[in-house]
Amino acid sequence: MPLIDGLTTLWDKLFSAQPDPPPLLVLLTAVVALVVVSTRLTWRITRNAVTIAHEGGHALMALLTGRKLRGIRLHSDTSGLTLSAGRPSGPGMILTLLAGYIAPSLVGLAGAWLLGGNRITLLLWVAVALLLAMLVMIRNVFGVLSLLVTGGVVLAVSWYASPEVQAAFAWTSVWFLLLGGVRPVVELQRLRSRGRMPESDADQLARLTPFPALFWVTVFALVNLAVLVGGALLLAGPILTDAGLTL
What's the confidence (pLDDT) of residue 73?
96
What's the confidence (pLDDT) of residue 20?
82
* Helix/strand/coil for 166: helix
* pLDDT exceeds cutoff 90 at 133: yes
What's the confidence (pLDDT) of residue 195?
87
Region 72-99: what's the mean pLDDT?
Answer: 95
* Highest mean pLDDT (candidates 75-79, 83-87, 213-217): 213-217
* Helix/strand/coil for 24: helix
* pLDDT exceeds cutoff 90 at 231: yes
CA angle at 156 for the pair 181 and 4, rounded to the nearest 5°? 115
Q: Which of 36, 41, 31, 56 is nearest to 106 (CA)?
A: 56
Q: What's the start-to-end Cα distance of the chain, in Å?
A: 44
Q: Which CA distances in Å does 195 have to 63, 143, 188, 221?
A: 31, 27, 11, 20
Q: Which of 31, 178, 48 is nearest to 104 (CA)?
A: 178
Region 137-148: what's the mean pLDDT?
Answer: 96
What's the confidence (pLDDT) of residue 150?
96
What's the confidence (pLDDT) of residue 237?
75
Q: Minimum mean pLDDT among 19-23, 48-52, 122-126, 170-174: which range?
A: 19-23
What's the confidence (pLDDT) of residue 98?
97
Q: What type of residue is 232?
A: A
* Helix/strand/coil for 72: strand
Could you list the beta-strand ranges (E) of 32-174. 68-74, 80-85
CA 202 to chain centre: 19
Tell me the DSSP string of 91-129: HHHHHHHHHHHHHHHHHHHHHHHHHHTT-HHHHHHHHHH
Q: What are phi and psi of 178, to 5 degrees?
A: -65, -45
102-111 residue pLDDT tens: 999 999 999 9
| Distance, CA of 44 to CA of 59 (rounded, Å) | 23
| Distance, CA of 48 to CA of 61 (rounded, Å) | 20
Largest Cα span, the chain: 66
Residue scoring higher pLDDT (14 or 133): 133
Query: DSSP assignment, residue 138?
Result: B
* pLDDT exceeds cutoff 70 at 167: yes
* pLDDT exceeds cutoff 60 at 127: yes
181-200 residue pLDDT tens: 999 999 999 999 998 888 99
Q: Which of 173, 38, 183 is nearest to 112 (CA)?
A: 173
* pLDDT exceeds cutoff 70 at 163: yes
